[in-house]
Chain A
Amino acid sequence: GAVVSQHPSRVICKSGTSVKIECRSLDFQATTMFWYRQFPKQSLMLMATSNEGSKATYEQGVEKDKFLINHASLTLSTLTVTSAHPEDSSFYICSVTGGSYEQYFGPGTRLTVT
């Protein structure tokens, strides 16, 4: 399967600052990337679907101006949490797919906003 990396793995930032999370598909042409969010001891919730070269599609209730997603190439997507607040603290996970059912997940990024 595809190897997917995320950077950073952990980040602590102050309230009001912005944080960028990278999702890289190391050996796979990812036409579509998904961003999920996981609260402690809860399931993954889809935030947005990102197709290479086009604007991301956000799920209901997810603020597109707060969670900026860029999918500029077939191997890289970024999620920027703007003006982060403590309630944005969560585990953010990306997955990639090349058009089939198979999704490959990154290891996740733990964001803590103080």
Chain B
Amino acid sequence: AQSVTQLDSQVPVFEEAPVELRCNYSSSVSVYLFWYVQYPNQGLQLLLKYLSGSTLVKSINGFEAEFNKSQTSFHLRKPSVHISDTAEYFCAVSKNSGNTPLVFGKGTRLSVIA
């Protein structure tokens, strides 16, 4: 079975400051790793994913995450946040095969302060 730990439930940060949202996972099998973003009263949107290959993955809106196998981590970073980045961020894992459900962390609420 897989599990995901997001150590920070809330992260306040000033606009244009850098941010890191931490995610650690455990699994006895190889996994795929994901970050999802959820805006209030909306469903989840895929932010970025790691399947294989380069351990650094990037999204179109400036977020990036790095897969670290030895530390079993997949931390999310952004060098300069915007007010519009305020949302709930979920780290998730699945077994590296198709049709498998996601196991989510508890989420981190990112609040960007003007």
Please list the residues of chain A having a beta carbon within 8 angstroms of any beta carbon in chain B: 1, 4, 6, 31-32, 34, 41-46, 49, 93, 95, 97, 99-101, 103, 105-108, 110
B98 close to chain A: CB less than 8 A: yes
Interface string of B17-51 (1 = CB under 8 A from A): 00000000000000010001000011111100101
Of A6, A31, A49, A108, the contact of B101 (CB 8 Å cutoff) = A49
Which residues of B65-114 have CB atoms within 8 Å of chain A's CB atoms? 90, 94, 96-107, 109
| In contact, B44 and A93 (Cβ under 8 angstroms) | yes
Please list the residues of chain B having a beta carbon within 8 angstroms of any beta carbon in chain A: 32, 36, 41-46, 49, 51, 90, 94, 96-107, 109
| In contact, B107 and A100 (Cβ under 8 angstroms) | no
| In contact, A107 and B106 (Cβ under 8 angstroms) | no
Q: Which residues from chain A contact B99 at a C-beta distance below 8 Å? A: 31-32, 97, 99
Chain B: CB-nearest residue to A35: B101
Known A97-B98, A105-B44; further 12 A-B contacts with Cβ < 8 A: A31-B99, A44-B102, A45-B104, A46-B102, A46-B103, A93-B43, A93-B44, A95-B102, A100-B98, A101-B51, A103-B102, A108-B42
Chain A: CB-nearest residue to B109: A41
| In contact, A110 and B98 (Cβ under 8 angstroms) | no
Report the bound CA distance from A44 to B38 in whole Å. Answer: 11
Q: Which residues from chain B contact A1 at a C-beta distance below 8 Å? A: 46
| In contact, A43 and B105 (Cβ under 8 angstroms) | yes
Report the bound CA distance from A101 to B97 in whole Å. Answer: 6
A42-B106, A43-B105 given; A106·B90 CB < 8 A: no
Question: Shortest CB–CB separation between residue A15 and chain B, in angstroms?
Answer: 23
Question: Shortest CB–CB separation between residue A2 and chain B, in angstroms?
Answer: 11
Report the bound CA distance from A110 to B44 in whole Å. Answer: 14
